[in-house]
Amino acid sequence: MKKKYKLKKWFKVLMLVLITTALYQPLETGDISKTIVKKQELSKQKKEVVMKENVQEEPIQEEIVEEPIEEKQEETQQDSSYTTRMTSYYPNDSYGTGSITGSGLGPNDFQINENGWYTYQDKLVVATATEYLLKYGYNLNNGVHTYKYYDELTLNIDGIDYQAIVLDSCGSAMSTGRIDLFVIDKEHIKDVDVIVKE
């Protein structure tokens, strides 16, 4: 019987150690898991705060992005008008101008306004630097605007806006950027600076 008792004593000690260890370990693990859960909750809260801050900042960023776009639109609007010299040409002038324009239209297709300027569909007939001249080997200076036949412009001549239509090409306009007004004769020429609105 003594042996049985000794085993029970060892058994009791062993059990006591195991039970004590088992009791303390879940508590510690529970504490650790609680700490991890708390850290995760804090991390989530921080993320939510950061996300809320980001959401609040987004409209500000959009406003910052919109301002340069508006500035570019204003620049584009400013770029759509420019000042250049307007000269005149007429049939059989010293440059050997014929009566038919590059578009194939001529005086029979035009009307004459009170200033002695040719018009087509109530628009002044003008010659400009054109894309057609580029095809024929003309060089284009930087900053010179080119047009195609039948492009329409608004010319401010002496403070008055006139509608104009490109029906001819001007070789010297490729380097100077000038606009040539088609007039009936030498007595009706015009040589002034104009504001061109595209």
Residue ranges of domains in the chain: 1-79, 81-197
The secondary element (H helix, E strand) that includes residue 154 is: strand 152-157
Q: Is the pLDDT of residue 11 over 90?
A: no
Please state, in angstroms and rounded to a whole number, the distance separating the CA atoms of residues 169 and 148. Answer: 9
pLDDT band at 16 (very low <50, low <70, confident <90, very high): low
CA of residue 156 relative to chain centroid, distance: 27
Please state, in angstroms and rounded to a whole number, the distance separating the CA atoms of residues 31 and 25. Answer: 10
User: What pLDDT, on the 0 to 100 scale, is given for residue 24?
Assistant: 54
Query: Are 84 and 178 within 8 A, CB to CB?
Result: yes
pLDDT band at 25 (very low <50, low <70, confident <90, very high): low
Query: Are 174 and 84 within 8 A, CB to CB?
Result: no
User: What pLDDT, on the 0 to 100 scale, is given for residue 80?
Assistant: 84
- 152 versus 63: which is more confidently predicted? 152
Confirm or reject CATH 2.10.110 for domain 81-197, answering yes or no.
no
User: What pLDDT, on the 0 to 100 scale, is given for residue 20?
Assistant: 61
- 182 versus 70: which is more confidently predicted? 182
Please state, in angstroms and rounded to a whole number, the distance separating the CA atoms of residues 115 and 29. Answer: 101
Whole-number Cα distances in Å, 73 to 26, 79, 145? 69, 10, 19
Query: Are 161 and 69 within 8 A, CB to CB?
Result: no
pLDDT band at 79 (very low <50, low <70, confident <90, very high): low
User: Each residue of 145-174: pLDDT tens digit?
Assistant: 999 999 999 999 999 999 999 999 999 999
